[in-house]
Each structure stands twice: as structure tokens, then as C-alpha cells.
Amino acid sequence: MAIPSYATRGERIWHYVFLGLCALIFLFLVGPLLIIIPLSFNAQPYFSFSEAMLKLDPAGYSLRWYEDFFTSSAWLGAIKNSFIIGIASTILATILGTIAALGLSNRHMPARGAIMALLISPMIVPLIISAAAMFFFFSKINLAQTYLGVILAHTALGIPFVVITVTATLSSFDTTLIRAAHSLGANPTRTFFKVVLPLVTPGVVSGALFAFITSFDEVVVVLFVSGPGQRTMPIQMWSGIREHISPTILAVATLLVLLSMLLLTTLELLRRRSERLRGIAPE
């Protein structure tokens, strides 16, 4: 966004004011996430910077909250549960969602709009409503307070993300490639695995990542559907924030920020790969 050479002085000033405003908004977006990283090394059990920290005195810093986290059976159990539930529901959501997306991208799909709206609805319906509804229903069929119940609930919540990303990938899919493969003698199975799948994989993987993070970060439904045996990370954090605010939560938060950075990098690499495969130069 360069300033055109014909810009007047007023326009130049406005240009810099605008950039300054944008910088402030970016600070609002990212600043809070960066502030907790140093706070999590606080030697004091507070949520604010101590004098010693501000003076960069090493005594003001400590790893005690990380130690607390990695030695607590409650936190480690919660992580384990989060991974079990997250991975199982991601696999289910990815399989069901990808197959459905293949059907939805068919030109002749009947009632496409209505079905799509239905498939996306778990993302739109307020979580508290889904949670309350699933609580009643799962209690009735003995799925409440079981792993299976939480996994099925999270599968439903993850499905919209898989459907959206995979259909988006398929909609820009060049179907002449399939005909070309056929004309070169490949049978449908071979075409699917050699041509369609490699091109769709980035969409599937990013859909799966979305589904996983949805489950990994979900509190409300677990709060209602799970029992004490299925305590996940977010539930542990939730009760930590509500009951006894301990900076261990800041250590967990820092680790989760790092996790999201990792995920973001993965997604960015996937996007570049798919652009390269499609022959779109990244500029």
C-alpha cells in the first residue's frame, strides 16, 4: 500500500495515521497472547508482573508453574483425555465429512443448499443449546458420562469444519483431470488414489486440524456430557479459573499458544503445498 506520488500532504498524514491505527489493532489482537508468556515465568503466585520481573532480576523468574503442570496428575490426566477424545472424534468427523463432501461437490446433488445448511448447523447453534440437548438425550440412552458420548458429541461439532474445508478444496478441483486420467487408462480406484486424493489431501488435513482443535478447545459440551472420568484440559482450565486462580493456568496457556503457532505453521505449509500443486505461484 504505497502512497501514490500525487498524494497531498493531508493524504500522507492520513496514511501514516491509518497505519498507526492498524498497528494498534494488531497489538490488541496479539498483545494479550504475548503478555502471558513472560507472566507464566513469574516466581510469585500472581497474575501480574512483580518488581523483580520488571528489573529483570533472575530471582523474579521461575519454572515452578511449569513444574507444577508437568507433575500434576490432574493436568496430565486431563491432557490424556483431551487427546483420546480429540483424536477419536477427529478421525470420525474427517471420514464422515470427507465422504459427504465428495457427494456434496457432485453437480447433481439433490437439495444441496438445505443439506449443506444442516451439516453446518452444529457450528452455528449456540454451544450451550447443543450441550443441554445432548445432555438430555445422552442421559436417556446411557451415553452420558462415557468416552463414547463425548466423542460422538465432539464429532458432531467438528463435522462442519471438515465439510467446509473439503468442499472448498473440491470446488476448485479441475474435473478434467479425472477425465484425463481415465483417458490414459487409469481405472476409477487408481484415479481416486493417484489423482483426486493427493490434490484433496491438504483440504482434508486442514479440516481434520480444525476438527481436532475444536474438540481440544471445547468446554461447554464436555461440561454437560462428560463425567469426572472424562475431564479434559479445557475443563481443568475452566475449573482452575473459576475456583482457584493459580498461575499454572498461565503456563498451560503459554503451552497452548505455542501449540496454536505450531498448528498455524502446519496449515500455512499445507496451503503453500496445495498452491504449488495447483500451479498457483505464491507471487
Partner 1 sequence: MSESPASPLTTADGVPLKVSLRRAVRRSKIKAFLLVSPLLLFLGIAFVMPIIEMLWRSVDNPEVTTHLSRTVAALEGWDEESLPGEPVFAALVEDLREGQAARNLGLLSSRLNYEKSGMRSAINRTARQLRTIEPPYREALIELNDTWGELDTWKLIQRESTPYTLTYYLAAVDRQLTPTGEIVQVPDHLKVHVSLFWRTFWMSAAITGLTLLLGYPIAFLLASLPLRHSNLLMILVLLPFWTSLLVRTTTWIAILQSQGVLNDVLVALGVIADEARWQMIHNKTGTIVAMTHILLPFMILPLYSVMKTIPPSYMRAARSLGGKPFLSFRRVYFPLTIPGIAAGGILVFILSIGYYITPALVGGQSGRFITNYIAYHMQTSLNWGLAAAIASILLFVVIVFYMVFNRLIGVDKVKLG
Largest interatomic CA distance in the chain: 74
The CB-of-82 to partner 1 minimum distance in angstroms stands at 11
> With respect to partner 1, which residue has the nearer C-beta, 84 or 217?
217
The CB-of-11 to partner 1 minimum distance in angstroms stands at 6
> With respect to partner 1, which residue has the nearer C-beta, 52 or 102?
102
Closest CA to 270 of 182, 207, 193: 207
CA separation, residue 224 to residues 121, 143, 257 (Å):
20, 12, 26
> With respect to partner 1, which residue has the nearer C-beta, 55 or 242?
242
> With respect to partner 1, which residue has the nearer C-beta, 11 or 174?
11
Q: Where are the alpha helices (DSSP H) in the chain?
A: 9-39, 51-54, 64-71, 73-104, 112-124, 127-140, 147-171, 176-183, 188-191, 197-216, 220-225, 233-242, 248-278
Grid-cell match 469426572, residue found: 228
Q: What's the CA gap between 33 and 264, in Å, rounded?
A: 15
The CB-of-128 to partner 1 minimum distance in angstroms stands at 4
The CB-of-253 to partner 1 minimum distance in angstroms stands at 4
> With respect to partner 1, which residue has the nearer C-beta, 170 or 195?
170
The CB-of-217 to partner 1 minimum distance in angstroms stands at 5
